[in-house]
A and B are shown apart, each in its own frame.
Chain A
Amino acid sequence: MKACPDVPATLSAHGLSHAYGRGATRAPVLRELALRFLPGQMTLVMGASGSGKSTLLAALGGLLRPDAGEVKFGANSLWGLAPSLLEQLRKREFAYVFQGFNLFSALTAIEQVALPLRLDGEVRAAARSRAEQALAEVGLDRHLHLRPAELSGGEKQRVAIARALVKHPSVLFADEPTSALDSLNGERVIRLLRELTRRHGTTIVAVTHDPRLKPHADCIVNLCDGVAVAERQGAAS
Chain B
Amino acid sequence: MLTDLPWVSGSLARATLVHDWRRFLPAILSVAFAGVLMLVQLGLLTGMFGTVTVLVDSIPAQLWVTAPATRSVDETADIPVSLAALIRSDPDILASDVLSLRDASWRSADGQRVAVTLVALSAEAGAPVCPEPMRTQCPMLASPGSVAVDRSEADKLGAVPGASAEIDGHRVRVVALSDGMRSIGTTYVFTSRQTLDDLQAGDAQAADHTSFVLGRIAAGSDAGRVRDDLRKLLPRTTARVWTRAQLSRDSRHFWLRESGVGAGFLFSTTLGLLIAIVITSQCLRGVILGQLREYAVLRAMGIPTRRLALVVVEQAAWIGAVGTVVMWYVVIAVAALAQRCYVPFTLSRGGLLVAGGIGLATAIGSGLLALRGLYRVEPAELLR
Measured CB to CB, the residues of A under 8 A from B are: 54-55, 58, 61, 63-64, 87-92, 94-96, 98, 100, 102-108, 111, 115-116, 118-120, 124, 145, 147, 163, 175
Contacts and interface: CB of A to CB of B under 8 A. Distances in A.
B12 A102 contact: no
A90 B14 CA distance: 27
B383 A102 contact: yes
A120 B303 contact: yes
Contacts of B307: 119
B384 A102 contact: no
Contacts of B296: 102
A175 B379 CA distance: 12
Contacts of B297: 96, 98, 102, 163
Given A118-B10, A124-B10, A106 B300 contact: no
A55 B4 CA distance: 41
A91 B9 contact: no
Interface residues of B, number: 27
B155 to A, nearest CB: 56
Nearest to B291: A104
A88 B301 CA distance: 9
B302 A92 contact: yes
Given A106-B18, A118-B10, A96 B380 contact: no
Interface of B: 4, 9-10, 12, 15-16, 18-20, 291, 293-294, 296-298, 300-304, 307-308, 311, 379-380, 383-384
A106 B303 contact: no
A55 B10 CA distance: 35
30 contacts: A55-B384, A58-B384, A63-B300, A64-B380, A87-B302, A88-B302, A90-B300, A90-B301, A90-B302, A94-B300, A95-B301, A96-B300, A96-B301, A100-B383, A102-B294, A102-B383, A103-B294, A104-B12, A104-B16, A106-B15, A106-B18, A106-B19, A106-B20, A107-B15, A111-B12, A115-B12, A116-B301, A124-B10, A145-B4, A175-B384
B381 to A, nearest CB: 9
Nearest to A148: B294
Contacts of B12: 104, 106-107, 111, 115
Contacts of A89: 302
A8 B248 CA distance: 87
A61 B301 CA distance: 10
Contacts of B380: 58, 63-64
A100 B9 contact: no
A54 B307 CA distance: 27
Contact of A115 (B4, B298, B383, B384): B298
B354 to A, nearest CB: 33
A102 B302 contact: no
Contact of B301 (A54, A58, A91, A105): A91
B319 to A, nearest CB: 15
